[in-house]
Amino acid sequence: MCGIAGWIDWERDLRHEEAVVRAMASTMACRGPDADGVYLSKSAAFGHRRLVVVDPAGGAQPMSRRFGERSYTLVYNGELYNTEDLRTQLKALGYTFQSYSDTEVLLVSYVAWGEACVDKLNGIFAFAIWDEARQRLFMARDRLGVKPLFYARRGSSFLFASELKGLLAHPLVDPVVDAEGLAEVFAIGPARTPGHGIFKNVFEVRAGHALMATRDGDRTWAYWRLTSREHTDNLDTTVATVRELLVDTVERQLVSDVPVCTFLSGGIDSSIVTAIAADAYRAAGREPLHTFAIEFEDMEKYFKANAFQKSIDAPYAIRVAEHVGTVHHRVVFSMREMTSHLLTPLAWRDVPGMCDIDVSMYLFCREIKRTHTVALTGEAADEVFGGYPWFHREESLRADTFPWSLRLRDRVAILSEELKSWIRPYEYVADRYREALNEVPALPGEDPHEARVREIGYLSITRFLPTLLDRKDRMSMGASLEARVPFCDHRLVEYVFNVPWAMKACDGEIKGLLRRAARGMLPDDVLYRKKSPYPGTPNPEYLEATRARCLEVLDDPASPLRPLVDVGAIQALAEASHQPGEHRPWFGQILGTPQLFHYLVEIDEWMRRYHVRLV
């Protein structure tokens, strides 16, 4: 993976602006520690940071190629999994290649097929191509939004970068946040409305979208979106198709010139990915696959099963590793290490994130990076196959809001009256929810329950999943580790989206379809294990650390957070947090009271560190 940045200006000469574009790219050095490069022309300046995964010599960027009288320059972050298929097609059209990198295949694909090239790509990507002759910039992002891409217009300048910090490094982009940005942080966060860049007049290229920037303006469009259609396959065919797609996508994603491993939690999703990968390694006569599992000290001592977390992962991860024959690594963190890094993820996120989950993910990726550069993970299976509690609980199915954030009233209760009147949190969330529902592709004649589950599935894929993909991208890239997500293969997502709920939950099992498709790959006790999310931090030291840190922030008269919250309400919450009670997360499945304190501390630090100005 890589970090990309660029500056287009149709009215000024950029050939002497190398320092600026290098500064933009250098903020993302962790995304590409192996090499850097710059391209300068009169109207375009690109910066690139490279993490070498395929073709070290031939994949250098920015990459420029001339075809006849036209020249094109590409900066690209991602990985194509159908590179050889595309290369074969392009050779048949008469194109030749100077390398075996997917970077060159992507550039030539644009030359051959123009904007339609994105329809042919299978992978995770965010890229920008400058057409010197036409003086226009084409950008696109992968269908599920695995790889990030932000942009901003400032007068005659068009700016883009993989991360917000890359844009903020440009002198034309100020860290200004208005009411809408604050509503995203306090009412939607740590999720984010697709297309929203938090900072004023900063935007995100949405998943499955492309953009063309010219002197006259910008045009964006969706080149891919989920569609609804009748599913005509019977259950046996559906199971076989899902299995075939899973095997194909995992095997495609093992291609690399550097060491590949898998995350292995012991849950069904990462276990399936691991089983397929380990089998492919054996079939190819390769050394055994390496797997990694995250653990916390004293997990057995403090863990208590609840409606969201049923059991500890570690024994199941070991069980799978032994069953499929991997070299397994247990990565164990102490609470002291966790609390010493409470604010570390902010440097990679650029906005407040997922608290201790971000911390542990970053530390986990950092440890893996000592020996590996690429890891396959299990994200997106719950969104695609309906594994989350909100697919099954009446409270969530009936809720007229995002089902992973049912406690908006509790969140609003800790805001200051001034902030509430400014951002109007209830109205803001309701508007964003209605916008999302209006996108859902209806299937005529579908019964009400099926239609509602379809809505929940669409919301989960387009509104909740991006939060997890942001986390995985930023934390893995913060450690210079490339994380691949096989369950985000668009072919699999498209197919399963239209499978009726009765099939998805066949055999009376949550994710029954996925479990059937994986029969024979895993031991039954793993295959039919109840869902357990990414491990949270049950140690009470975490609550004490975040609680104390939050109260310390609020005691500071200079705190930028203080005017935005109800200090008394938070102090009361801090006092009540000592009392035992039912675990009811305020976001997702595991962000509870300790994480709320952590989130508030992150907001304070974000406003200080990024010099946020409110308007």
DSSP labels, 543-559:
HHHHHHHHHHHHT-TT-
Beta carbons within 8 Å of 383's beta carbon, 6+ residues apart? 457, 460, 461, 464, 465
Type of residue at 438: N
Query: Which CATH architecture group holds 235-527?
Result: 3-Layer(aba) Sandwich (3.40)
Structure tokens at 155: 């007068």
Beta carbons within 8 Å of 314's beta carbon, 6+ residues apart? 266, 293, 295, 299, 330
DSSP secondary structure code for residue 151 in this structure: E
Which residues are tagged catalytic? 2
Distance of CA 194 to the CA centre of its chain: 12
pTM: 0.96
Q: Which SS3 state, helix, strand or coil, does residue 99 take?
A: coil
Alpha helices in 75-214 (DSSP H): 83-92, 102-113, 164-168, 179-183
Residues of the chain with CATH 3.60.20.10: 2-222
Rounded CA gap, 469 and 476, in Å?
A: 10
Task: Give residue 360's pLDDT.
Answer: 94
Residue stretches of the chain with pLDDT short of 50: 306-308
Structure tokens at 437: 């529902």
Rounded CA gap, 363 and 368, in Å?
A: 9
Which is it for strands 327-333 and 482-484: parallel, antiparallel or unpaired? unpaired
The helix, strand and coil proportions of the chain, stated in percent and rounded to the nearest 5, come to 45, 20, 40
H, E, C per residue of 291-333: EEEEEECCHHHHCCCCCCCCCCCHHHHHHHHHHHCCEEEEEEE
Query: If we measure between CA atoms, which residue out of 141, 16, 113, 145 comes closest to residue 471?
Result: 145
Task: Give residue 308's pLDDT.
Answer: 47
Distance of CA 150 to the CA centre of its chain: 14
Residues 264-322: pLDDT tens digits?
Answer: 999 999 999 999 999 999 999 999 999 999 988 866 655 555 444 555 788 899 999 99
Task: Give residue 314's pLDDT.
Answer: 84
Beta carbons within 8 Å of 258's beta carbon, 6+ residues apart? 52, 53, 372, 373, 374
CA distances (Å), origin 531, targets 308, 528, 536: 8, 9, 14
Backbone Cα Rg of the chain: 24
Dihedrals φ, ψ of 292, to 5°?
-135, 140
Task: Give residue 171's pLDDT.
Answer: 98
Asked if 61 and 76 touch (Cβ cutoff 8 Å), the reply is: yes
Rounded CA gap, 105 and 588, in Å?
A: 39
Domain 2-222, CATH number (from 3.40.50.880, 1.10.150.120, 3.60.20.10, 1.10.10.10): 3.60.20.10
Q: At what angle do helices 593-609 and 540-554 cross, to 10 degrees?
A: 40
DSSP secondary structure code for residue 522 in this structure: S
Type of residue at 254: L
Residues of the chain with CATH 3.40.50.620: 235-527
Q: Residue 529's CB: how many other CB atoms inside 10 A? A: 20
- Please spell the DSSP secondary structure of 422-461, one letter per residue: HH-HHHHHHHHHHHHHHHS---TT--HHHHHHHHHHHHII
Torsional class of 550: left (φ above 0), alpha (ψ -120 to 50), beta (otherwise): alpha
